[in-house]
Structure 1
Amino acid sequence: MKQQDNRALGAWSRSSTAVLAAVAIALFGAAAWHLGTVALSVAPPNTLSRHYPRWIADHIHPELEQNWKLFAPDPPQGNGQIEARVRTVNGTGARHTAGWTDLSASDIAAVRSNLLPSRTDQDLLLYAWDYYALWHDQLPGHPREARLMAANLKRTALQRLMPQYQGQRITGLQFRFRFDRVPPPSWASPTTTDRPVNQVLPWWRVQNKDCQGL
């Protein structure tokens, strides 16, 4: 009886060892892939990064983007103002184009009224715009990331605008952006123009799926 138990234990142990070995190999491969793509994303251009740019970008962006701001913070060098307006339709089918809403001002007011403001809430809208501009203006040729950033910006704005239009369906959304640079100190030589940057985006269509979960 004892000999049979030992044989059964040995057979179970061999199968367990095989499963553990397969899991270990899978985990090692996933870790190697992750560390390799992260290293290639922050390393200077090389043969591998030039040969597999799409694979690296698909894994790193937008969730795992790496930068050095944790060690050398680069605060904004200007004041950004993001405004939006919507087109709506009510229950009778009447359509209306609303005026511009200053989303940045409402965010700033919410932060100032909170004794312990959340940095996530404070920067959510501005980061959504920055990432949208990055993938559309500075990193062309990445349609998947561009679509994700556009959807993120759209949903971030709708989350703030929807409470104002209860009973009306939002069918369109438009953004405009103004950036005023903070002037440098008197002892520093100016390196950039002091002209404000103004940008108006075309109308975006808003579908039901854009508002789900908000």
Structure 2
Amino acid sequence: MTPTTPATAKGEATRAFLLKTAARVFAERGYTGTGLSDLIVASGLTKGAFYFHFSSKSALALAVLRDQQERWLHEVSERVLAAGGALEQFRALPPAMLDLLATEPGAWSINRLTREMAADPATADAVVKPMAEWVEFVADIVRRAQADGDFRPGPDPHAVAVVLVAAFDGLKTLTDVLNPGSEASGLFTRRAGVLLDLAQHGLLPPADS
């Protein structure tokens, strides 16, 4: 940064850098497996400079969670909602999410952070809202597809969304466990396609209806 750069701009740049760095570290080690010292070392900042922006690991983790969730909702929703009707939007969900994971691996920190911080009474309440917003985004697509007659009216949209979000997250976690290494990304993409097919077959109305 040059001396003429306004302090506020420099501060925002540093904060953005810390969020991106922490997202990567949390994605690799998880919340409980990451110490505050790990985050400071990864940032390359002095303790004083680090503490100026974030006073604790939980404060940084919550900021990462909010930042990443906003990215997911903004980037995925922008692409998905431009796909056409609700059915087309439903089909566009997995590719949009997979592309985001491919271009920004730190985005997966949402899954681990949410799960681990939800188990901590000190941070549990703060992680509910972002996840609830994501579930409601998916539920709204299912609800509109039902209203359009493209999906069966029976299944509860919110319940469907909870199952789908949980299945997608769980599939990523299980693939990383069963197939660690370079093959994981391709296998996860193909398995996500299977998940979408199963979901569609379960939601589409009978062919003779």
As a proportion of its length, which structure holds more helix?
2
Q: TM-score, normalised by structure 2?
A: 0.34
Give the TM-score, by structure 1 length.
0.33
Structure with greater proportional strand content: 1
Bigger-Rg structure (1/2) = 1
